[in-house]
Structure 1
Amino acid sequence: MSYKERVIKGVTWNFLLLILSAPIGYLVRMLYANEIPKLEVGLFYAVLDFCCMMAIFKDLGLSSALVKFIPKFLHEKRKDLVKSAIISVGVLQSSVSLIITILIILLSPLIAEYYINNQGQFTGHLDLVINVLIILSVGFWFQSIMDVISSSIQGFQNQKYRGTISFVRISLILILSAIFIYFFGFHNVFVPTYAYTLTPVLMILIYAYIFFKKIFPEFFEVKFLLSKKLIKDLFSYGIYIMIGSAGSLVLGYIDGICLTYFIGLNAVADYRNVAVPTVSVLSYFASSVTTVLFPLSSELWVKGYKKALGYGVEKICLYSFILVLPMAILMTYFPKVIINLFFNPQYLSAADAIRILSLGMIFMTLNNIGFTVLNGIGKPHLSTKILYVGAIFNLIFNILLIPKFGIVGASLTTVFGYLLMWILQVKYLNKFLNYSFLIKKWILVTLIGIFSLIPLIIITKIINNIILQLILGGIVYFGIYLIGIFGLRIIDVKEIYDMLNKIRGI
């Protein structure tokens, strides 16, 4: 199978599963918004953000090291090193994660009083906050084990099973949440707390079986080598990823952390349960691309196919932009419609954040692709450098803007942080891969996306029914957008036809 065919089939499979995951993930948020008090939804996400920030220290960058080194060892036909790498990473990550979990449990009274309840919204009910902290920290430990399994599957470049992980995860969260609400009658913060804690346990059972039976059945037969050199190599690569992951997690969760501390848990509910999940749908294509691109870019770089990799990155970035831009524009135009349809009026305060963040997702998509390529070609230190520039920018401006502007300040900071990182990425990609930023095509796509909005505005002025506005307006908008894209030959029709032929073989 050619590299091009592997990319097309892998990306398509992952993208289809992520598309299926999107409505399920949205159902989870809708369920929480409509069945659990808003303040308790904010409490859950505040604690979840805290636990995710602690993930900076549990991973040690070794999960990404597995994805990097497994293809290399398989190419060398050294399955003993593959097994040794998986076991070494599993023991190290689960041990560090256990230590962190114990520390969170021991310090939970202080965390609850001086951080989660900083705005006094759970004064007199700190036991509730402490219990949520303890339960989620246990789930945090199980997730560290699942991360090793997931990275191992990705390292084998088995897209068939790797692509199902996000879908199965969000499906289990929905099923468990529905059981707790409709069968046990829970309508409080423990619904998401229990669901998010039990899900990694179930996933370990499912994917450990798949990995040992279907992907690496020789696991228990090949020898285990306790190699200092192997561990050193894993750490040497992983340390940059860990430091980079710290920046990535700061970017992902510092908004919620600062909102919790400066504004309160209702703002966290608006931002984390409505605004961020709504715009995150736009990142699904990039997620499907990066899952395939990481191990593949590593292989192409090792074999010296730099020109082919550079050309591929140019096309992937352009096509990603073409796909994400119209959805971002529509989301910017219809935030209140989305909230009224899927949530309830008490979350309308999240509308401005959706408008801002939806445009930021364009740069996030491009950032995900850029970081994946830099890590894949063995330049994780550059990813780390860029991430920390973005993370420091994000931290400083969150502290400056959130106390005054709330979730709008958090959203603006996130968007400009993504933009800054993308500019730096283009610089490095051009240096190592002769990556060309196809500026004329990007400008044309942007203009088409903006001008396609004109008939949509007219339609929304004529039609009063919100659902009809959304359906008819969306059809007209995408129709005009596609005519412009193909009419100006921004996309190579022959290449699209070739992709479709490859997809049929999936």
Structure 2
Amino acid sequence: MVSELWAKGNKKRLAQGLRLLYKYSPFIVVPGALTLFVYPDFVLKYLFGTSYASGSLALVVFGYTFASGPLALQIISIGIIMSTLYLVNSSVLGGIGVPIENTKVLIPAAVFNFILNLFLIPKFGIVGAAFSTTLSYILMVVLSIIKVKRFISFSLPWSDWLKIITCGAIFLLTILFLNRWLVLNLYLKVALSVIASGVVYLLSAILLGLVKLEDLTQFPLLKSLLKR
């Protein structure tokens, strides 16, 4: 669909779709990322097995085992949000026929990540690796937005992102409160905390005007924009 709109010169509709993707992609991912941030030990031990209790998702990539895995996973959770925005830009650049621009983003980001790893991994281990990876994702988002803007004129949804941050803060406070005061089986406690916080998150988004009814009619466009 991106290729079709681009070929027809329908940049206005592309820009509209991009703004919606920039809005709803992080909105959907934030609760999951914050859940990883609050429950890194639970995720590592009970979802990936006890052998990962002292590691993190980055363990597989870098091949190291450190006791600071939960902290590394918390840092990576921020990178997950950034990677979502990059994937949107990457799909668009590929769809309009300039995949080389993705390469121009990945190469400096890879070099940046490699240099940071040289300094951070020896001293901080997997936490340093997670930190450099997250910073690299941020760099990839910035560079890819610059690339996309060269082909499609659009404005970034700063007000929507601020609302997402606000909703995320409300989600985080809610889940921390429930995690502290609920006295239940661990699995039930985590499940109820996440579900209740998710409901509060959605209600907050509606009250702040982040989630709008008219946006629902655009979801077919969002889906098609991700197809090359």
Give the whole-Å Cα distance in 2 for the aligned partners of 1:379 and 1:401. Answer: 34
Secondary structure of 1:434's match?
Answer: coil
State the match for 1:469 in structure 2: 189
How far did 1:381 drift? 2.9
Task: Return the index of the structure with the highest Cα Rg.
Answer: 1
User: Does the Cα contact within 8 Å between 2:22 and 2:157 map onto a contact in 1?
Assistant: no
How far did 1:497 drift? 5.7
Give the whole-Å Cα distance in 1 for the aligned partners of 2:153 and 2:138. Answer: 21
User: Does the Cα contact within 8 Å between 1:426 and 1:437 map onto a contact in 2?
Assistant: no
Cα distance, 1:390–1:498 mapped onto 2, change above 3 Å: closer
Alignment RMSD, CA only?
1.9
**Counterpart residue type for residue 326 of structure 1:** P
Give the whole-Å Cα distance in 2 for the aligned partners of 1:431 and 1:396. Answer: 28
From the two aligned structures, give the one with the greater helix fraction.
Answer: 1
**Counterpart residue type for residue 204 of structure 2:** G
Give the whole-Å Cα distance in 1 for the aligned partners of 2:152 and 2:38. Answer: 37
State the match for 2:208 in structure 1: 488
- Structure 2 runs not aligned, ≥5 long: 56-69, 224-228
Match of 1:370 among 84, 89, 107: 89
Secondary structure of 2:54's match?
Answer: helix
Cα distance, 1:327–1:343 mapped onto 2, change above 3 Å: closer
How far did 1:437 drift? 0.5
Give the whole-Å Cα distance in 1 for the aligned partners of 2:163 and 2:44. Answer: 31
Give 4+ residue runs of structure 1 displaced > 3 Å after superposition: 343-346, 497-500
How far did 1:490 drift? 1.0
**Counterpart residue type for residue 46 of structure 2:** L
State the match for 1:323 in structure 2: 28
User: Does the Cα contact within 8 Å between 1:370 and 1:429 map onto a contact in 2?
Assistant: yes
Which of the pair has the greater relative contact order for Cα pairs under 8 Å at 6+ separation?
2
**Counterpart residue type for residue 178 of structure 2:** I
Give the whole-Å Cα distance in 2 for the aligned partners of 1:385 and 1:344. Answer: 38
- Structure 1 runs not aligned, ≥5 long: 1-295
Does structure 1 residue 407 correspond to structure 2 residue 126? yes
Match of 2:157 among 423, 438, 445: 438
Cα distance, 1:498–1:384 mapped onto 2, change above 3 Å: closer
Cα distance, 1:322–1:463 mapped onto 2, change above 3 Å: same
Give the whole-Å Cα distance in 2 for the aligned partners of 1:499 and 1:415. Answer: 29
State the match for 1:458 in structure 2: 177
**Counterpart residue type for residue 337 of structure 1:** F
Paired-residue identity, %: 33
State the match for 2:14 in structure 1: 309
How far did 1:339 drift? 2.3
Give the whole-Å Cα distance in 1 for the aligned partners of 2:41 and 2:22. Answer: 30
User: Does the Cα contact within 8 Å between 1:332 and 1:355 map onto a contact in 2?
Assistant: yes
How far did 1:498 drift? 6.6
**Counterpart residue type for residue 322 of structure 1:** F
Secondary structure of 1:495's match?
Answer: helix
Give the whole-Å Cα distance in 2 for the aligned partners of 1:423 and 1:484. Answer: 28
User: Does the Cα contact within 8 Å between 1:429 and 1:435 map onto a contact in 2?
Assistant: no
What TM-score comes out, normalization by structure 2 length? 0.83
**Number of corresponding residues:** 206
Give the whole-Å Cα distance in 1 for the aligned partners of 2:218 and 2:17. Answer: 15
What TM-score comes out, normalization by structure 1 length? 0.39
User: Does the Cα contact within 8 Å between 1:310 and 1:434 map onto a contact in 2?
Assistant: yes
How far did 1:485 drift? 0.8
Q: How does 1:92-107 map to 2 (within 5 A)?
A: none
**Counterpart residue type for residue 315 of structure 1:** L
Give the whole-Å Cα distance in 2 for the aligned partners of 1:359 and 1:318. Answer: 16
State the match for 1:163 in structure 2: none
State the match for 1:381 in structure 2: 100
